[in-house]
Each structure stands twice: as C-alpha cells, then as structure tokens.
Amino acid sequence: MLVNRQAKDINADDVVLGSDAAAIRRSFVEKLFFEVAKFPGVATRNDHYLALARAVRDRILHRWIRSARTYLEEQHRTVIYLSAEYLMGPQLGNNLFNLGIEGPARKAMESLGLNLDELIEHEEEPGLGNGGLGRLAACFMDSLATLDFPAIGHGIRYEFGIFDQEIVDGWQRERTDRWLRFGNPWEVRRFEIEHSVGFGGRTETVVDAAGRPRVKWTPARVVWGVPYDTPVVGYGTVTTNFLRLWAAVAPEEFDLDAFQVGEYWRAVDEKIRSENITKVLYPNDASTAGKELRLEQEYFFVSCALQDCIRLLLQRTTIDKFAEKFAIQLNDTHPALAVPELMRLLMDEHGLGWEDAWRITSHSFNYTNHTLLPEALETWPLPLLARLLPRHLEIVYEINHRFLNEVRQRFPGDDARLSRLSLVDEQGEKCVRMANLATVASQKVNGVAALHSRLLRETVLRDFAELWPERFTNVTNGVTPRRFLGQSNPRLSSLVTEAVGDGWLTDLDRLTGLERLAADAGFRERWRAVKQANKERLAAWLHDTVGVRVDPQTLFDAQCKRIHEYKRQQLNLLHVVWLYQRILRGDVAGIAPRTVLFAGKAAPAYQKAKLIIRLATAVGETVARHPVARELLSVVFVPDFNVKNAQRIYPAVDLSEQISTAGKEASGTGNMKFAMNGALTIGTLDGANVEIREAVGEENFFLFGLTAAGVEDVLRRGYHPRGVVESDRELADVLWLIESGHFAPGDPGLFRPLVRGLVEHDPFLVLADFRAYVECQGRTSKAWSDVVGWTTSSILNVARVGRFSSDRSIRDYVREVWHTRPVTLAPVT
C-alpha cells in the first residue's frame, strides 16, 4: 500500500499523555469505555487489565513513534535478531517498571477501587519459548532498548506457546497454552504488510529482461506472513524497539472450486494447512524434532524477516547497502535458512550476481551457538529439503561447492577434513549441517560462556576454528536486572538502592558498593530480613496454589530449569534420598533442615524426564508422610515453571542448584538470576558457573564434581557405573531404596528404569559425581548454620554479579560483532 504523502501537520507531540496518576486514570477510563467497550457493573478483571494495558501501551507507542521516525530518517545500522523463540514474560508489570510509572498507576487504580497487583497478576504470559534460549532473546531485547541500540527482533507468533504444566497424581500433564484467548493488548497488527512465502515446486533457468540467466522458483504452495508488533521499551529511556512476530495466513480464504462443487471442508483445507505453520511451538528444549512442520516454521519466519528488511531498506536506499544497514544475529541455527534465503532474494528477486550476493550475505550474518549436545545440533535430510525448499538446496550446494574448493586449496589432499567441514553430511542419511552453514556465512561465531566457546572451538566447530580463528569469539550470556531484580525483588532492590544509590539498574557493576557492607552487622540483619520476607511470600503462595506447607526457616534449595538428564535432577534426588535414609537411621547430626524445590517442564515425548518428575513428587509425598523426616526435609515440585513463576521463586532461594555434567550446559542463565537475588550456588565447573565462581569468589561458591576434561577422561578410559555403586555402600542403599518401590508402593517397579539407566549406562556421570556432591551438600549444611558467614556470602554474591547483566552481553556483541551505535532520542511528553 502506498504511503499517503498529502497528510501534513500530524505530530505525535500534539498528544500529551502524561504520566501522573490523574492522567493514567483518565486514559484508563477512556480505554475501558472506547476500546474494551465495557462499563462498570459488567467489566471483568480482564477488562480492567485490558484497559490499563492499553493505557500503558499508548505511552509506549509514543516513544516508539519517536524511535521509528528517527531511525527511518537517519538510517542507523540496526540489529536484526532472528530467533524462533522469545520468552518475554508478563508485560504489564515490566512496562510500568521500565516507564517508571508503577507508582502513579497504582494510585490511579486505587482511586478507582482497583488493585494494581491483581491486574498484573491476571496477565497471562506469552510463552513463546522453551527455556534459556528464548528467555535470553527476551533479556537481549530489554537491554538493546535500554542501551539505545536500534534493533528489531523477528520471530514466530505461535498461537499456542509452550504447554502449561499441571501435576496430576504426581505426573506431568500438558495443557494447551491458549494465551491469546482473552486478547493480547500489547500487539499491533500491521495489516498493510504481508510477505508471501513459498514451499515446494520446482526451479528453472530463465532469461531476464536484461538478457541474463536467472533462476526462477515456482513454489507449489504459497502462504502469507503477516506481522504483529510488540513494542519493547527501554528502562529509563525513550528508545522503544519492537518484536515483530509473524503469523501464517492462507492467501485465499476459500478454495472456490472446491466450494462450488459442494466440498466445503476441502475448501478450508488449504487455509488450515497454511495456518498450521504458526499454530504451535515445538516443546523440545535443546533438541530438534526433525519434523517437516518445524522446518516450515523456520523457513517461514526468516523469509518474512528478510523480505521485511529489504522492504525497509528500499524505502530509503538500494539493495547493495543491505549489510551496512543490518547486522543479523542468528540465535542458534533455527534461523540458519536465512543464509540461502537472503542469497535467493538478492539473486533471484533483486538481480544480483553470486559474488555480490555472497559479499552482502556473508557480511550480514553472525551466529550464536547454544549447545554442543549432538542430538541438538540441527541437520535436515536432503530429500526433505529438496521437496520443501528446492531452490535453497541448490544454493546450499553452490555455497558448499565454492567453500570446499577454498578448503582444497588450503589443505590439498585432506579428504577427511573436507568431509568434516562439508555443509552436507554424507554419512548415513544425507543431510545439511545447519551449524556448518551458519558458520560459513557468518562474520562472527560465538558461544555463550567462556568454557562453552572454548569447547565449541575445540570440538564441534574445530575445523572451522582452524580455518578462520578470527571468526570465533565468546559472549557470555547475561540477564536483565530490571526484570529479575528490580521488578521481581522490590525488597532487595530498595535495600540495594539505599546502600549504593540509584543507577545500579543500568550499571550493574555499581553493586560492588555492597561489598563494604557485608561486614556491617546491621546491614546483614536487614539483608536477612529481606530474604526471610521473600521466603514467607513464596511459602504463602505455595500453600495457596500447590497446597503444601513449607517452613520458611529452612534452607530453600532450588533446582528450576527444564528437566533433562544432563542437568542431573536425578543427582539432586539421590542426595535427597540419601538425607532421608540418614534421618530414618537417626543419623541427623549436621543436617540443615531444608526445603528442596524442583520446577521445570519435561518435553512431552521425553519419557525419562517425565519419570524424573514423578520421582521428585513421589519422594516429596513419602517424606511428607514420615513424621520424623518431614521435620527436617521437604521436597516440593512447583508446577508450571514459566517466567511469572520464576519471578516468585528466585528472590526466595538460598541455594541454587547448577549441577549439570561438566561440558554439557552451554551457559545457563538461571544460575545468574539466582545469584543476583542472593542465593549461593552449588555447582560444577560448567557453563557460566565457571565465571560466576570467578566473580563471586571461590569461598562464596560450593564447587564439586568432575571437570569437563575429567568427564572426557573418565569416558575415554571406560566408565563403569556399576563399579561406582559397588564401592559406595550408601549410594547402593539409595539406589536400592528407589528400586525397591519404597516411593511407589502401588507400583513398585515404577522407578526401576531410572535406577537401571544409572547403574547400567549413566551417560551423564551422575553416579561418578554422587560422592562429591553429597560431601559438598554437607558443606552447604554446615555453612547454613553459620548465619553470619552465609549472609556475608549472599551479599558478596550480589555485589559481584554485575558482569552477568545482559547489558554487558549486549555491549560485548556491539563491540565484537555488530559494530552498531547507540542513538539518543529527545524526550517525549
């Protein structure tokens, strides 16, 4: 649609919205009547929530218009973040917080007899991600805006996000996440933008108007992508970026031919098939399903994103400026089809030759790897690609051909190297290795923690690192302190502000100002009181929603993350059972009373993970029934771990479990959120734990277990878990108790597969680390009894976590990878 250039004197600054309580109240009332179309007496809580959300959104849009206009006029280099997942969390509280209008909004609601907390609580979060990877993308969006960097996040508007988890009879049960059911007040649908995305069909070479040969792809099927924008406002700044999520729609509502012959269902078939593409998020964390629909999703959104970039670019300049205008970040390989897609768009649609197209493409992309787990490295079978994306496969072949020629020149005769580097895996089922594709096309490739980046260079991408050492870098993950401290832990935040002054939320290194206070008894007392109050709040919530009572005086020990064997929830449970047996034996000296919290979703098809959840709930039930054990121990599985629930949990935890097999957890970000809220960590030298320990000091971190090199060593020499059991009587007892059916009296064989799996295979070395873990937990118990020591460590943890702000990560990306500049905007009224 054409821009109407006749309009004049339409200026956003003519609209004064105001941010005091009276102004917010006025907007709220207006929205309730004229947008939600409700009046008192019939308005529900959802209506009130919608009205307030819209009032807040207006204030954000005001900033957004200022941002977008400036960027359009001044043509700044823009970060394009491509991610199949964004785990944004609830928006209302965060937006109020970042705008700095929570106080006036509260007043405005009070003046109308409404409670702001209830409205914030009411919001259903968009669960458009599985775990760390999606949440990282959300933290990065927050930091990009807060630091005034122009950025657009592109992703998928899944109609159903990650399933809601319920626990029924101790088992996980999945419920469809119908997050859009009551409307989404934050998004703006852009009706004038739509991009067509093809699938299947065939390619042919034609001669274009200028007499040059060109490839023409005639897809068998076309769907439209339509964008929904969610503004992302920075904290304490005008800068407002946006997340552009794409939804698939059918180009024709009805197949009229089918309709006319009376086959009504066939007529809507095509529509359903098209719209299925963005129907649901695949609920697998760190692993790929290899499913056709997933491939369609990945291609669909990157095609929309790139067409949209080109549309924006051509409004002001020419196609050859693409790489100057955009720095594209591939968040893992899920968007890696963007590489052949950009080549296709540049050559087939915009008439560039291969060399020019490749120069632009290879200067636009950068790739972040998020996992070394072999089952999680994406590959797509050639036959599937040939069928679904024939043109892209041709381009991948050509990229590979040229690339391998280069390699041949540098390493003549080294066929083994060639086959390792090849974009196509020729062994077994032939497929395209997406990590190789992303690496070949990128300026920079990074891992997400120092150890992970090193292992990436030494293992999965070793040959590439030899070829192009300068291409590889590290950017350690970070988390936004706005959401995970400012907003979710107001008590600790005000104590911190009192101690170090304002400004720490955007300059987290200022937390070091807390260090000197760790020696101040009065301050420690207040610090403890904050943690205590947070624990009481969590306990009350657990009582209300899960129906369990926990004692806030006990050590709150939490492992909250996806359920996965490599994360070793089983190790945690073995320790819990070990404690339980000691209590039954009457051997209770030195045991600190503890509440062990588990939370996390299991992929619905991951049977073992679901059984691990069942073991956690079963142990919890058994312990709770035992009159002596329950005095010292309780084990609670908190259902439905999502951003909202995470924000309740982090502030209330004393001990953070980060106990993955060394070398397996790329970074972790929960580890940072817990530490930022004053929890001490018990952990292995894995992912970002290494750097957290370095930062907070080894005396403030409980370290145990094999190192990554140790793990490799054990496996190389031949690991025999049974031997470990035979040499450790207590471990044998623990395993036997679980296997005996003690925790599942009605179904004694229930947990046998878990025990068998550990004793016979134990690929993640749970048993190898058991003794070290149990001993280390002994140290945590001992440390807990030293209140002064524990509190001191807690303060020092917070004082020293500044570098794990996502602001630091973003600055690293800007310096090392994107080379973009911040843009400061004039204030809005």
Stretch near ligand NBG under the rule CB under 6 A, chosen from 88-96, 129-137, 149-157, 569-577: 129-137
> What's the closest the beta carbon of residue 130 comes to ligand NBG, in angstroms?
7
Closest to ligand NBG by CB, 50 vs 84, is: 84
Site track 290-309 with ligand NBG (rule: CB under 6 A), x = hit? --------------------
Stretch near ligand NBG under the rule CB under 6 A, chosen from 115-123, 130-138, 307-315, 645-653: 130-138
* The total number of residues written for the chain in this structure: 829
Structure tokens at 743: 């925790």
Looking only at the bridges linking them, the beta strands covering 680-683 and 655-658 are parallel
Structure tokens at 439: 């690496």
List C-alpha distances in Å: 818 to 366, 412, 822: 8, 34, 12
Closest to ligand NBG by CB, 310 vs 336, is: 336
> What's the closest the beta carbon of residue 281 comes to ligand NBG, in angstroms?
13
Active-site residue flag, 761: no
> What's the closest the beta carbon of residue 369 comes to ligand NBG, in angstroms?
9
d(Cα 63, Cα 826) in Å, to the nearest integer?
10
Site for ligand NBG in 602-661 (CB under 6 A): none
Single residue of 180, 258, 376, 450 touching ligand NBG by CB under 6 A: 376
- Phi and psi of 336, rounded to 5°? -70, -15
> What's the closest the beta carbon of residue 612 comes to ligand NBG, in angstroms?
17
Query: Taking CB positions, which residue lies at the least distance from ligand NBG?
Result: 132
d(Cα 445, Cα 748) in Å, to the nearest integer?
50
d(Cα 475, Cα 575) in Å, to the nearest integer?
34
Single residue of 277, 579, 618, 666 touching ligand NBG by CB under 6 A: 666
Does 148 engage in binding with ligand NBG (CB under 6 A)?
no
Closest to ligand NBG by CB, 133 vs 517, is: 133
Single residue of 61, 84, 105, 136 touching ligand NBG by CB under 6 A: 136
90 residue type, one letter? P
d(Cα 30, Cα 35) in Å, to the nearest integer?
8
Does 678 engage in binding with ligand NBG (CB under 6 A)?
no
Does 668 engage in binding with ligand NBG (CB under 6 A)?
yes
Stretch near ligand NBG under the rule CB under 6 A, chosen from 48-56, 175-183, 499-507, 665-673: 665-673
- Phi and psi of 195, rounded to 5°? -125, 145
Does 663 engage in binding with ligand NBG (CB under 6 A)?
no
DSSP assignments along 78-139, one per residue: EEEEE-S-EE---SHHHHHHHHT-HHHHHHHHHHTT--HHHHHHHPPP-EES-SHHHHHHHH
> What's the closest the beta carbon of residue 667 comes to ligand NBG, in angstroms?
4
Q: Catalytic residue, from 370, 444, 524, 564: name it.
A: 370
Beta bridge partners of 199: 221
Active-site residue flag, 562: yes
191 CB neighbour count, 10 Å cutoff? 9
Single residue of 665, 769, 807, 812 touching ligand NBG by CB under 6 A: 665
Active-site residue flag, 669: yes
Find all residues with CB under 8 Å of 189, minimum gap 6, and list them.
Answer: 226, 227, 228, 229
Looking only at the bridges linking them, the beta strands covering 431-433 and 379-381 are antiparallel
Closest to ligand NBG by CB, 477 vs 488, is: 477
> What's the closest the beta carbon of residue 668 comes to ligand NBG, in angstroms?
5
Q: How far is CA 262 from the centre of its chain?
A: 47
How wide is the angle at C-alpha 78 spanned by C-alphas 76 and 84, nearest 5°? 165
Q: Catalytic residue, from 239, 554, 617, 669: name it.
A: 669
Find all residues with CB under 8 Å of 426, minimum gap 6, and list them.
Answer: 419
> What's the closest the beta carbon of residue 766 comes to ligand NBG, in angstroms?
18
Single residue of 148, 332, 394, 762 touching ligand NBG by CB under 6 A: 332
Does 132 engage in binding with ligand NBG (CB under 6 A)?
yes
Site for ligand NBG in 216-255 (CB under 6 A): none
Q: Where are the alpha helices (DSSP H) in 559-707?
A: 569-585, 607-625, 629-632, 643-649, 670-676, 689-696
CB 131 within 8 A of CB 564: no
> What's the closest the beta carbon of residue 683 comes to ligand NBG, in angstroms?
13
Closest to ligand NBG by CB, 285 vs 308, is: 285
CB 650 within 8 A of CB 768: no
Does 285 engage in binding with ligand NBG (CB under 6 A)?
yes
Does 371 engage in binding with ligand NBG (CB under 6 A)?
yes
Closest to ligand NBG by CB, 93 vs 705, is: 705
Look at the block and give the residue holding tokens 């004197």. Answer: 9
Site track 436-475 with ligand NBG (rule: CB under 6 A), x = hit? ------------x---------------------------
Does 505 engage in binding with ligand NBG (CB under 6 A)?
no
Enclosing H/E stretch for 245: strand 240-249
254 residue type, one letter? F
Q: Catalytic residue, from 48, 57, 561, 582: name it.
A: 561
Look at the block and give the residue holding tokens 């990229």. Answer: 399
Q: Catalytic residue, from 106, 344, 614, 673: name it.
A: 673
> What's the closest the beta carbon of residue 593 comes to ligand NBG, in angstroms?
31
Q: Catalytic residue, from 25, 562, 610, 614: name it.
A: 562
Radius of gyration of the chain (CA): 28
794 residue type, one letter? S
> Which residue numbers are catalytic?
370, 561-562, 567, 669, 673
Catalog residues that contact ligand NBG under the rule CB under 6 A. 132-133, 136, 285-286, 332, 370-371, 376, 448, 477, 665-669, 687
